[in-house]
Chain A
Amino acid sequence: MFKISISPYFRSACILKMSGKYKLFRHTLYSILIIILSFAVLPSYAGIVRVGKNQAIQSVQQGILQAKEGDTIYVHAGIYHESKLIIEKSITLVGKGWPVIDAQNKGEIFFIRSRNVWLQGFKLQHTGRSDMKEIGAVMIYDSYAITVYNNQIEDANFGISVQNSKRCTIKDNHIKAFNKNEVLSGNGIHGWKADSLIIIGNAISGHRDGLYFEFVKNSLIWRNKSTENVRYGIHFMFSNNNTYIGNIFEKNESGVAVMFSSKIQMYNNYFHDNWGDATYGILLKEITDSHISGNSFVQNTIALQMEGCSRIKVFKNKFINNGFALKIQASCDDNDFTHNNFIANTFDIATNGTLVLNTFDGNYWDKYEGYDLDRDKIGDISFHPVSLYSMIIAHNPAALMLFRSFMVTLLDKSEKLMPIITPESLVDHFPHMKPFDL
């Protein structure tokens, strides 16, 4: 741990400058100052505070009180029944051998309101819950450059909550809860009004929303695994300019829902097994100017639902074995779908109107029955991916009774030959003959 002690020199330099008497020597002084500064950057070891059952300090609370700015606190293995640990200085807290901090349902465990805090290697559990406020294992407020690394959080109402903070890193944490219903549970990682967060490699399950962001911008969400949450795997609103890469969203009660945001990049994420009534692989509502690429949508009730979305490029995604691969409302415009694979979905596309302002050219559809005489690997006749029955069932869900009935197959075939009800402009002019290698 390195500490830079520059303040005395800096202060004297300022005094000299302000006095005005040494203007002639100013340049000399500056060069001296720079030399002195470069020497001042010497490693000065910060203090180490040890907390443990066999140490002088036996509670984490005491340890934090004793620590000075820049100190490191080592907390040794053991169970600490503590809560409401307030950190308001730049310290490093490291758990040795997974110390357990058990709040015994009395409330929050760590409050952090500081700069440059590092929190690592703890097992935090049993925060309890409250109807009045959000209780979390790690609460970060008005802070800057906080790192929460490699902790286990179990049975917390909220896992890690970041509010009104910048440049925080949340990495490799395991956050697990055992919630049964939406009202009583909190979110795994909760971001509110934050900027430049880096959230990497966390595993979250059993919370209300695995990841929840509101007014979070310029953030990177990478390689997280959000599974079996009570509501959404990830849920964000009013959060622009964020990038989501390689995350796994599996078996969440309602899948994933994201709303009212723009400039979202979603690459190579997995949306798997989000199965049930009103469950979406991903629900996009009022999302604009975004990219969705390289994602894999497998076994979802509705893989991708879009409402009021504009200018989204959806390319090189896999849609396999979904109920509906894509439900796109007529309120979407200027979205472009290309180079996607649509394989073994019950319905490839459903829509709720005849107005189509989006393009669907150049995808692979396993339901395409056309031919390719000139052998350019692009079908010679265009493909209408919306089936009549999907239109019927969108308007009239009770028509499920006729699901896969022979009559429906007949109607679909005749509609394919002569589209009357299905939107004629929802068409792939250049359907690929073979699936893309994605």
Chain B
Amino acid sequence: MMRKIVKYVLGDIIRNKMVLVYTILLFVISLSVFNIETNTSKGILSLLNIILLIVPLTCIIFSTIYIYNSSEFIELLVSQPIKRKTIWYSLYFGLVLSLSLAYIIGIGLPALYYFPNAKGAMILIVGLFLTWVFVSIALLIAGSSRDKTKGIAIAIVSWLFFAIFYDILVLFILFQFQDYPLEGAMIVLSFLNPIDLSRIQLLLQIDAAAIIGYTGAVFKIFFGRGLGILICILCMCAWFLVPLWLSVKIFQKRDI
């Protein structure tokens, strides 16, 4: 049953053409960046902010709007003898599959083509995780608010929060507590924002973090080693599993 719904959602999204535009946009950006920059590491750095801003933004906004727009379809499905859990998961997988595919074609494959090494793999993995995380956050937002306008507003605000405000908050904390050793605290804080976590992982791969002395070394030792990477992956998994699980709980109890 789930496969059927996923297939339908996928077909619907692809017919929608938004994802197609997103794919082409990513593809053009990545190709131009890789071709213009002669220095490989600099190419990745230029791509970095694009991945960290555009991917979360598109995922969260597109998914929220899609859920609201398919409210009638959801109502129809709910009236059928299908578990609500199945419906919600199918929607999630449909969205995640299409957006992941867009990312793989748009940036993942060019990245792997230009950097057939750990750097390229990290770009791919980081982008995919961001896609899953922000689709799942979008589902939580769309599930908890019935008002479309309010939902989209919350989606935009939460993107702003993760992309910009959180860093301002961190900077504020840094200045308030600058007399204390904050390296450990910074590691914990970076786990609380999937965008920061992705950025740090990517920067460590292109070896740009070694440049800033002691803190760089602390970060490298923590994030660069086996256990650190494992913790990062677990943390990213938590970032998409927890909102998804919460949204399922909300959707199950919701009065349609």
Which A residues form the contact surface with B (CB < 8 A)?
275-278, 301, 322-324, 344, 346, 392-393, 395-410
Query: Given the complex of chains A and B, what is the CA–CA distance between A213 and B190 in angstroms?
Result: 45
Of B5-13, B143-151, B202-210, the segment with at least 4 beta carbons within 8 Å of chain A is B202-210
How far does the Cβ of A297 sit from chain B's closest Cβ, in whole Å?
Answer: 13
Contact with A along B20-34 (1 / 0, CB 8 A): 000000000000000
Of B87-95, B160-168, B229-237, the segment with at least 4 beta carbons within 8 Å of chain A is B160-168
Known pairs A399-B171, A404-B49, A408-B167; A344 contacts B39 (CB<8 A) = yes
Q: Is the CB of B178 within 8 A of A323?
A: no
Q: Is the CB of A276 within 8 A of B210?
A: yes
Known pairs A344-B39, A396-B178; A402 contacts B167 (CB<8 A) = yes
Q: Is the CB of A346 within 8 A of B178?
A: no
Q: Which of A277, A324, A402 contacts B214 (CB 8 A)?
A: A277
Contact with A along B200-231 (1 / 0, CB 8 A): 10010000111111111101000000000000
Query: Given the complex of chains A and B, what is the CA–CA distance between A369 and B163 in angstroms?
Result: 26
Q: Is the CB of B211 within 8 A of A398?
A: no
Known pairs A301-B211, A403-B208, A406-B164; A398 contacts B182 (CB<8 A) = yes
Q: Is the CB of B174 within 8 A of A404?
A: no
Q: Is the CB of B216 within 8 A of A401?
A: no
**24 A/B residue pairs, CB under 8 Å, sorted by A:** A275-B210, A276-B217, A277-B217, A323-B212, A346-B208, A393-B212, A396-B174, A396-B178, A396-B182, A398-B186, A398-B215, A400-B186, A400-B212, A401-B189, A401-B200, A402-B196, A403-B208, A403-B209, A403-B212, A404-B45, A405-B167, A405-B196, A407-B168, A408-B167
**Which chain B residues lie closer than 8 Å to A398 at the CB level?**
174, 181-183, 185-186, 215
Q: Is the CB of B212 within 8 A of A396?
A: no
- The 10 A-B residue pairs with the shortest CB-CB distance in the complex, in nearest-first order: A323-B211, A398-B182, A407-B167, A277-B217, A397-B215, A401-B186, A400-B215, A277-B213, A405-B167, A398-B186
Known pairs A398-B186, A400-B215, A400-B216; A406 contacts B210 (CB<8 A) = no
**Which chain B residues lie closer than 8 Å to A346 at the CB level?**
208, 211
How far does the Cβ of B23 sit from chain A's closest Cβ, in whole Å?
Answer: 23
**Which chain B residues lie closer than 8 Å to A301 at the CB level?**
210-211, 213
B113 at the interface (CB under 8 A from A): no
Q: Is the CB of B42 within 8 A of A395?
A: no
Query: Given the complex of chains A and B, what is the CA–CA distance between A356 and B49 in angstroms?
Result: 33
How far does the Cβ of B232 sit from chain A's closest Cβ, in whole Å?
Answer: 14
Q: How many residue pairs between the two chains, A and B, have CB atoms under 8 Å in the bound complex?
A: 89
**Which chain B residues lie closer than 8 Å to A344 at the CB level?**
39, 42
Q: Is the CB of A400 within 8 A of B219?
A: yes
Query: Given the complex of chains A and B, what is the CA–CA distance between A233 and B212 in angstroms?
Result: 21
How far does the Cβ of B112 sit from chain A's closest Cβ, in whole Å?
Answer: 22
Beta-carbon nearest neighbor of B177 in chain A: A398
B250 at the interface (CB under 8 A from A): no
**Which chain A residues lie closer than 8 Å to B210 at the CB level?**
275-277, 301, 323
**Which chain A residues lie closer than 8 Å to B213 at the CB level?**
277-278, 301, 397
How far does the Cβ of B183 sit from chain A's closest Cβ, in whole Å?
Answer: 6
B53 at the interface (CB under 8 A from A): yes
Query: Given the complex of chains A and B, what is the CA–CA distance between A323 and B214 in angstroms?
Result: 13
Beta-carbon nearest neighbor of B212 in chain A: A400
Query: Given the complex of chains A and B, what is the CA–CA distance between A276 and B199 in angstroms?
Result: 20
B77 at the interface (CB under 8 A from A): no
B242 at the interface (CB under 8 A from A): no
Query: Given the complex of chains A and B, what is the CA–CA distance between A396 and B171 in angstroms?
Result: 10
Interface centre among B39, B171, B182 (most CB of A within 10 A): B171
**Which chain B residues lie closer than 8 Å to A403 at the CB level?**
199-200, 203, 208-209, 212
